[in-house]
């Protein structure tokens, strides 16, 4: 057996045994980005499974991230939330970065919700804005490189609709009802861990990006490979700045604070959407 498959199955079996004992079968996977982890506080009757207890899983280290699966009820549905994701910049190989997504697939999720804190590339964006991700530009190594895992999906997956149009339309409707001023746009994923230089921001704008971050696309690629519909949202935590602005700095702690402030709106939207699935 492919050693990756063995690892996925072993981790999934460990989680499944815990969930079976609790009578939980999650239908929706949620990845919580930097500063957005408190959505898990809204999960009712939560069962917490620390990554460090799961065979083959590492411990997440990024700022604003914990390392747990939280399983329980949200808006009437059973969800499995990742409180903390694994980033390529932490030094994990791509198989590790996407392992939790494949474990959730084996556990039977039918939808994946992804969230992140992102820099605003679009000059009209403001700190605290929420952006529905409509497409992405991936500049992190593709997690599907290597022998294809045929059990999950095809060698050459279609990526014409990486983010589910039906979920996007529903989110826009719910956003209107809630009076949220939602943005829509393209997410540019780079490895980090450096934030962007002024001219990297400019370059991203030229190629059509609206927001930039260091995550999400590996998870989305692997979910789409496995035919899971995806809904993605960026919380804009800092904005592109003029190359002439000599005082500007991008500060990681400030980004987590901004994400936390905007999290309330994002959580309301996720709950509204999940309630309608
Ligand atoms: N760049 C990259 N990643 C980020 C940013 C940014 O400006 N803000 C939050 N995550």
Give ligand 1 pocket residues (Cβ under 6 A): 117-119, 192, 195-196, 212-214, 237-238, 250, 255
Q: pLDDT tens for residues 109-128?
A: 999 999 999 999 999 999 99
Which is nearest to 84 in space by CA: 59, 54, 56?
A: 59
| Tens of pLDDT, residues 128-178 | 999 999 999 999 999 999 999 999 999 999 999 999 999 999 999 999 999
Question: Per-residue confidence at 61, pLDDT binned at 50, 70, 90?
Answer: low
Q: State the DSSP code for 112.
A: E
Residue among 34, 62, 63, 118 whose CB has most ligand 1 atoms within 8 A, to mutate: 118
Entry pTM:
0.95
The owner of tokens 């990024």 is: 62
Length of the chain: 277
Residue 31's alpha-carbon distances to 98, 202, 227, 255, 270, in angstroms, are: 11, 28, 17, 18, 11
Q: What is the CATH number of domain 3-275?
A: 3.40.50.1580
Q: What ranges do the domains of the chain cover?
A: 3-275
Q: Residue 121 Cα, ligand 1 centroid: separation in angstroms?
A: 10
Closest residue (by CA) to atom 7 of ligand 1? 119
Nearest Cα neighbor of 104 from 59, 60, 152 is 152
Residues 6+ apart with CB under 8 A from 21: none
Paired tokens of 133: 């991700």
CA distance 57 to 95: 11
Per-residue pLDDT tens digits for 198-254: 999 999 999 999 999 999 999 999 999 999 999 999 999 988 776 666 677 777 777
How many CB atoms within 10 Å of residue 256? 21
* pLDDT greater at residue 113 or residue 255: 113
Cβ(48)–Cβ(68) below 8 Å: yes
Please return the burial class of 148, using the count of CB atoms within 10 Å of its CB with bins 0-12, 13-18 and 19+. middle
């Amino acid at each position: 057996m492919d050693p990756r498959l063995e690892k996925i199955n072993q981790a999934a079996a460990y989680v499944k045994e815990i969930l079976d004992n609790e009578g939980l079968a999650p239908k929706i996977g949620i990845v919580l980005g930097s500063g957005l982890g408190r959505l898990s506080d809204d999960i009712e009757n939560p069962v917490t499974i620390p990554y460090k207890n799961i065979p083959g899983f590492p411990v997440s280290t990024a700022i604003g991230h914990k390392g747990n699966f939280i399983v329980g009820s949200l808006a009437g549905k059973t969800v499995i939330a990742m409180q903390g994701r694994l980033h390529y910049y932490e030094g994990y190989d791509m198989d590790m970065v996407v392992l939790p997504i494949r474990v959730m697939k084996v556990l039977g999720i039918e939808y994946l919700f992804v969230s992140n804190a992102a820099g605003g590339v679009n000059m009209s964006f403001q700190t605290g804005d929420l952006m529905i991700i409509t497409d992405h530009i991936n500049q992190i190594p593709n997690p599907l490189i290597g022998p294809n895992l045929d059990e999950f999906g095809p060698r050459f997956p279609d990526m014409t609709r990486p983010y589910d149009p039906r979920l996007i339309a529903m989110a826009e409707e719910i956003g209107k009802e809630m009076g949220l001023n939602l943005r829509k746009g393209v997410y540019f994923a780079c490895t980090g861990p450096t934030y962007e230089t002024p001219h990297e921001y400019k370059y991203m704008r030229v190629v059509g990006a609206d927001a930039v971050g260091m995550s999400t696309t590996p998870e989305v690629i692997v979910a789409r490979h496995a035919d899971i519909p995806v809904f993605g949202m960026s919380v804009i935590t800092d904005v592109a700045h003029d190359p002439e602005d000599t005082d500007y700095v991008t500060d990681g702690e400030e980004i987590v604070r901004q994400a936390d402030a905007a999290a309330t709106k994002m959580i309301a939207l996720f709950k509204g959407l999940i309630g309608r699935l």
